[in-house]
């Protein structure tokens, strides 16, 4: 690969030509982490970002082409174009772009005089001094302490919040690298300060970024890039969890992955949105609407959270209105139910009174029946007594055979006397003592 090919590659990936290099490695087995470590050894103290990787297996010798973007212009870097690395002694090569300052031809018309150069340098130095004094006076913000002690003492930060704060402020500080290192070191104590002390003994020309990388190795998470990538792609929204909470939980993993250089900063928004589409609950109403609206666009983190929170607020208002409506319906139903219960209670009282009345009538009927039976029994007893009295009276008739009294015909011992019989019959008829035939 030549300088022209590297230039076209940079234009395709939209990389600044002055800050780009192509690394040609005769191997296809190196991971991103190994590539970063290799460039740290070749160009110490400087940090790069892998923008693209091409693996070539078509040629007789396997090869990996890596497009690197640096924080500073390539012209300010000191590095060999050809070098060897590893136990096998693999030969690698760094290729500049076609328009790198080292590859430009110097035209005599572009040269400036010594006086003009001195004047320009004087103006630049004065501006730098002014900016440095302003930054020292206004931009300096003392960092919170971090010692690495567990549990975290009062007044100190845990490592991840402290690291996020430091990463932000060192990008904003318009001061030299030495001042940045000094400010980071001021916020460390205990075990964290010992890490920086040992780093200075091993590497004298270290930077503030080196401080943070060393602290990340000692106090940061122990997951590898592969483990974080697996965890990121297998993080799903839980039942009952709001979508905004799921996005925050997912972003913390993505941030750790970016700190370990497992993902480029330009791809963070796209990867986050892809995983949200895959990991969100399929029936989440906010996610259904977002799939339809943001299918062709990539939202930044704050835009994504804003859109989700707005939808959550709308759903919460609807839920509150439904709860209020349900409460009104419930109160109306309760009032109607209370009225029905009151009517039922009144009806139950009426039925109770009717039952009591019926029971009283039954008792009255029963009493009357008993009295009637008592009267009937009394009448029967009187009739029986009367009959018994009739039977107990002496016989006052006469014998129809002989006409004598004191006996009846069937037991008559006298001879028949009809005349006497007729006389007695007439007498008894007149007196009302006729008893009928014997």
Closest CA to 238 of 229, 228, 246: 246
Q: What percent of the chain has pLDDT over 90?
A: 0
Lookup result for tokens 């500073």 = 72
| Per-residue model confidence as pLDDT tens digits over 396-433 | 578 888 888 878 888 888 888 888 888 888 877 776 55
* pLDDT at site 107: 43
Helix (H, G, I), strand (E, B) or coil at 117: helix
- Token pair of 341, please? 């219960």
Q: What is the DSSP string of 310-352?
A: HHHHHHHHHHHHHHHHHHHHHHHHHHHHHHHHHHHHHHHHHHH
Full-prediction pTM beyond 0.75? no
Which residue has better confidence, 391 or 270? 270
Alpha-carbon span 416 to 285, nearest angstrom: 135
Q: Tell whether the model's pLDDT for residue 132 goes beyond 60.
A: no
pLDDT band at 320 (very low <50, low <70, confident <90, very high): confident
| Per-residue model confidence as pLDDT tens digits over 256-303 | 887 777 888 788 888 888 888 888 888 877 877 777 766 557 778 888
What is each CA distance from 357 to 246, 286, 350, 352, 364, in whole angstroms?
A: 72, 68, 11, 9, 10
| For range 200-216, the mean pLDDT | 85
| Per-residue model confidence as pLDDT tens digits over 363-390 | 888 888 888 777 777 766 765 666 565 4
Angle value at C-alpha 263, between 246 and 279, nearest 5 degrees: 25
Residue 398: DSSP 8-state: B
Closest CA to 163 of 119, 103, 208, 201: 208
Closest CA to 233 of 282, 284, 283, 279: 279
| Per-residue model confidence as pLDDT tens digits over 51-89 | 888 887 765 678 888 889 888 888 888 888 888 888 878
177-186 vs 191-202: helix crossing angle, rounded to 10: 150
* pLDDT at site 109: 43
Helix (H, G, I), strand (E, B) or coil at 104: coil
Alpha-carbon span 418 to 416, nearest angstrom: 6
Helix (H, G, I), strand (E, B) or coil at 293: helix
Buried-state track 221-244, b at ≥16 Cβ within 10 A, e below 16: eebebeebbeebeebebeeeebbb
Beta-strand pair 63-70/48-56? antiparallel
Q: Are 144 and 187 in contact (CB under 8 A)?
A: yes
């Amino acid at each position: 690969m030549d300088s022209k090919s590297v230039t076209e590659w940079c234009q395709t990936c939209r990389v600044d030509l002055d800050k780009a290099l192509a690394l040609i490695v005769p191997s296809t087995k190196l991971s991103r982490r190994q590539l970063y470590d290799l460039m740290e050894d070749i160009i110490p103290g400087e940090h790069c970002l892998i923008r693209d990787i091409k693996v070539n297996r078509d040629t007789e010798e396997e090869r990996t082409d890596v497009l690197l973007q640096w924080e500073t212009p390539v012209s300010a870097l000191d590095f060999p174009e050809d070098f060897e690395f590893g136990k096998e002694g693999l030969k690698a090569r760094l290729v500049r772009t076609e328009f790198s300052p080292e590859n430009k031809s110097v035209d005599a018309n572009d040269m400036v005089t010594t006086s003009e150069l001195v004047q320009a340098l004087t103006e630049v130095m004065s501006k730098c001094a002014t900016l440095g004094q302003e930054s020292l006076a206004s931009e300096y913000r003392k960092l919170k302490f971090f010692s690495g002690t567990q549990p975290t003492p009062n007044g100190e930060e845990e490592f991840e919040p402290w690291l996020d704060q430091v990463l932000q402020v060192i990008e904003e500080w318009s001061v030299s690298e030495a001042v940045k290192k000094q400010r980071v070191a001021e916020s460390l104590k205990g075990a964290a300060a010992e890490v920086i002390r040992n780093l200075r003994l091993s590497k004298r020309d270290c930077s503030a970024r080196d401080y943070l990388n060393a602290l990340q190795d000692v106090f940061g998470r122990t997951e590898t890039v592969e483990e974080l990538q697996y965890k990121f792609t297998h993080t799903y929204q839980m039942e009952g969890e709001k979508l905004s909470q799921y996005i925050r939980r997912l972003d913390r993993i993505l941030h750790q992955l970016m700190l370990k250089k497992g993902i480029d900063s330009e791809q963070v928004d796209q990867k986050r949105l892809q995983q949200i589409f895959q990991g969100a609950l399929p029936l989440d109403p906010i996610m259904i609407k977002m799939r339809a609206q943001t299918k062709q666009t990539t939202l930044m983190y704050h835009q994504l959270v804003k859109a989700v929170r707005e939808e959550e607020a709308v759903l919460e208002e609807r839920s509150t209105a439904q709860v209020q409506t349900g409460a009104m319906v419930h109160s109306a139903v309760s009032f109607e139910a209370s009225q029905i219960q009151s009517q039922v209670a009144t009806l139950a009282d009426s039925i109770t009174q009717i039952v009591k009345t019926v029971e009283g009538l039954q008792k009255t009927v029963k009493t009357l029946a008993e009295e009637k039976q008592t009267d009937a029994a009394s009448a029967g007893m009187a009739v029986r007594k009367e009959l018994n009295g009739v039977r107990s009276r002496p016989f006052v008739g006469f014998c129809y055979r002989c006409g004598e009294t004191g006996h009846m015909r069937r037991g008559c011992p006298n001879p028949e006397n009809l005349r006497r019989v007729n006389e007695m019959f007439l007498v008894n008829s007149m007196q009302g003592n006729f008893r009928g035939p014997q």
